[in-house]
Amino acid sequence: MAPSRDVASSRIIADRVCEGSPPGADRPPSRLLDRVRAAVRTRHCSVWTEKAYVHWIRRYVLFDGKRHPETLGAEEIGRFLSALAADGKVAASTQNQALSALLFLYRDVLKQELPWIDGIVRAKRPARLPVVLSHDEVAAVLAYMRGETLLMATLLYGAGLRLLECARLRVKDVDFDRRQVVVRSGKGARDRVAPLPLTIVAPLREHLRGMWRQHRKDLASVAGWVELPFALARKLPNAGREWPWQWVFPASRTYVERESRQRRRHHLHETVLQRAVRQASIEAGLAKRVTCHTVRHSVRGRRRRRCRGRSGQLVAARGIRNAGRNWIGCAGHRISLVAASLILAQNAETTDTFRCDEGV
């Protein structure tokens, strides 16, 4: 449903609050939200961070009668946060997100000193227990999934990938020989390695063969381009049409990029997998709220294995979580996965075989 005319006009006014600086300022006129976007992008923050900060700053401007933020201070911020909690009944994490956006505005955009920052109290986030599925419940959910969404859900459960990490996988990041997946620019803009479940190797190979045939057809129809990260398109002009850079799970339709006029194919939208997981959980008759992140959380209970090290002490080998950091805890020390494999190979007596590649 389209927003009302009053809401739309309020947004326009909020955007124009800082068409120019407040009276008496020496800076050249500039739009506040454009400055916020530029500051966020300079720090290489995610697009979700940019959208969230712009949203909260716009609401802050509207809340205080469309006054310029440079004329406001700690008292107005406190009233705004209190109204969010009392009237909007938002969660503590949402309230802290709004506060982070406003602190970013004053510190990094308006370049103001904040002597009153110590007086602002952040909301305390309560401890919550995540929803975790058993192995049988995950199997029941996967039984009602087909095609690409089944492969993606298996990667979430077997490799511990997050939703967007799975959707943004490229062909070059899947290593069948080492049975591992390289996650690029994951949480915190960090790369990591995740094990590839053994049971998904053959179906994933067959899926990529089909994607290869589709890519060849796209190349024949003057398409076959994909989006490249950062400025890689200038450094490698033709990489966008090469097979290694293609998405593992591409969308079914193509689009024309405005600036380059390239006919590209985006990765499968994350909502496709979200809807498929939700629908499968309903058909499986689970009395739990199941999301993609629930499937990922459920891997922790199965990835704990026990092995015997050189010293003979029994240790718990953490699977997915620490496999991404390439070490496990062994006899009170941190050792690499390669060293752990050698220890397990040299010790015939084990309580349970440690297999990072065990699937669903």
pLDDT at 158 over 80: yes
Cα(196)–Cα(243) distance, rounded to whole angstroms? Answer: 20
Task: Output 236 or 126, whichever has higher pLDDT.
Answer: 236
Q: What CATH fold (topology level) applies to the domain 5-119?
A: DNA polymerase; domain 1 (1.10.150)
- Where do the domains of the chain lie? 5-119, 135-271, 304-346
Nearest to 300 by CA among 282, 320, 276: 320
Confidence at residue 185, expressed as pLDDT on a 0 to 100 scale: 86
At residue 166, φ and ψ (nearest 5 deg) are -70, -45
Task: Output 103 or 116, whichever has higher pLDDT.
Answer: 103
Average pLDDT over residues 104-114: 86
* Average pLDDT taken over every residue of the chain: 78
Which residues are bridge partners to 193 per DSSP?
182
pTM: 0.69
pLDDT at 114 over 80: no
29 C-beta neighbours (distance < 10 Å), count: 9
Task: Output 324 or 263, whichever has higher pLDDT.
Answer: 263
Confidence at residue 122, expressed as pLDDT on a 0 to 100 scale: 73
Q: Which residues of 332-355 are buried (b: 16+ CB within 10 A; e: fewer)?
A: eeebebeebeebbeeeeeeeeebe
147-151, 216-220, 230-234: segment of lowest average pLDDT? 230-234
pLDDT at 62 over 80: yes
Cα(56)–Cα(79) distance, rounded to whole angstroms? Answer: 14
Confidence at residue 15, expressed as pLDDT on a 0 to 100 scale: 52
Confidence at residue 186, expressed as pLDDT on a 0 to 100 scale: 85
Task: Output 348 or 199, whichever has higher pLDDT.
Answer: 199
Task: Output 39 or 332, whichever has higher pLDDT.
Answer: 39
**pLDDT band (50, 70, 90) for residue 121:** low
Average pLDDT over residues 73-79: 83
pLDDT at 187 over 80: yes
In three-state secondary structure terms, 303 is coil
- Classify residue 190 by burial, with Cβ atoms within 10 Å: 0-12, 13-18, 19+: exposed
Confidence at residue 316, expressed as pLDDT on a 0 to 100 scale: 37
Average pLDDT over residues 63-73: 87
**pLDDT band (50, 70, 90) for residue 324:** very low
Q: Quick one: DSSP state of residue 225?
A: B
Confidence at residue 231, expressed as pLDDT on a 0 to 100 scale: 85
Quick one: CA torsion of 140, 141, 147, 151, rounded to 10 degrees?
-100
Confidence at residue 118, expressed as pLDDT on a 0 to 100 scale: 59
What are 7-60's pLDDT values in tens digits?
A: 445 554 455 454 444 444 444 446 899 999 999 999 988 888 999 999 999 999
Please say whether the structural domain 135-271 has been given the CATH code 1.10.443.
Answer: yes
Confidence at residue 341, expressed as pLDDT on a 0 to 100 scale: 44
Share of the chain above pLDDT 70, in %: 72
